[in-house]
């Protein structure tokens, strides 16, 4: 007799991802999905109340896996903020690529882009908290209110940068998504140059890359 799988949020996330990739659509209802899982509907509600919650948690699950991998790397603990951010991007987008069919479906299912962004709402919160832990310092201006605005702006700017990277990855057709890796490197270097007001070489280089790829920002 086959061993019964212990029900968990991770199990539901995995099975939901497999379902939308295999069927090319969402389950018709929670009842239908529970039948597919061979579980009672009441047991499903112990973890989620709707499909939208599942979809949002798929992204945060990948994010959590990324951070755990990074934090278990001793070298990562000694990286500066820029290198930590680069490491995060490379690792997170490896996770996205490993689940690309599901991620593309979830983000391109909705023609209304605002609904797609709603699926990233939990990820946005986690990502901004992660940015806060990096200790990225803006240009020093001796006024407390301005400094608070600057730190908030850094998190918002980082989120916009993340969305740009995600859009580039979705449209990337290069082998092994190598152009996304280039985008990550150039965009992160350029963003730190902007924060530090260092020479604009990387910014210009990033601009040339965007122009070459004809990205629509």
Q: What is the mean pLDDT of residues 59-67?
A: 97
SS3 198: coil
Q: Which residues of 5-40 are buried (b: 16+ CB within 10 A; e: fewer)?
A: eeeeeeebbebbbebbeeeeebbeebeebbeebebe
pTM for the full predicted model? 0.83
Q: What is the pLDDT of residue 174?
A: 96
State yes or no: pLDDT of 1 exceeds 80.
Answer: no
CA angle 6, 12, 14 (to 5 degrees): 105
State yes or no: pLDDT of 146 exceeds 70.
Answer: no
Of the two residues 101 and 152, the one the predictor is more confident about is: 101
Among residues 67, 36, 65, the alpha carbon closest in space to that of 51 is found at 36
* Mean pLDDT for all residues in the chain: 86
Q: Which residues contact 201 (CB under 8 A, 6 or more apart)?
A: 193
**H/E element holding 26?**
none
Q: Model confidence at 86, in pLDDT bands (50, 70, 90)?
A: very high
Tokens of 92: 């997170």
Q: What is the pLDDT of residue 139?
A: 45
């Amino acid at each position: 007799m086959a061993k019964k799988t212990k029900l968990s949020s991770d199990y539901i996330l995995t099975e939901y991802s497999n379902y939308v990739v295999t069927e090319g659509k969402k389950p018709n209802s929670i009842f239908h999905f529970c039948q597919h899982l061979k579980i009672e509907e009441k047991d499903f509600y112990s973890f989620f109340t709707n499909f939208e919650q599942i979809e949002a948690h798929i992204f945060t699950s990948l994010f959590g896996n990324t951070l755990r991998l990074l934090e278990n790397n001793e070298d990562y603990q000694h990286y500066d903020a820029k290198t930590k951010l680069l490491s995060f991007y490379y690792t997170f987008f490896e996770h996205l690529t490993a689940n690309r069919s599901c991620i593309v479906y979830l983000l391109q299912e909705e023609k209304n882009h605002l609904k797609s962004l709603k699926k990233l709402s939990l990820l946005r919160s986690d990502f901004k908290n992660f940015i806060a832990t990096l200790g990225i310092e803006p240009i020093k201006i001796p006024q407390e209110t301005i400094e608070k605005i600057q730190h908030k702006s850094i998190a918002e700017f980082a989120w916009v940068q993340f969305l740009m990277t995600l859009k580039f990855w979705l449209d990337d057709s290069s082998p092994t998504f190598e152009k996304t890796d280039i985008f990550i490197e150039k965009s992160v270097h350029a963003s730190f140059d902007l924060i530090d007001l260092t020479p604009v070489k990387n910014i210009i280089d990033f601009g040339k890359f965007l122009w070459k790829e004809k990205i629509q920002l």
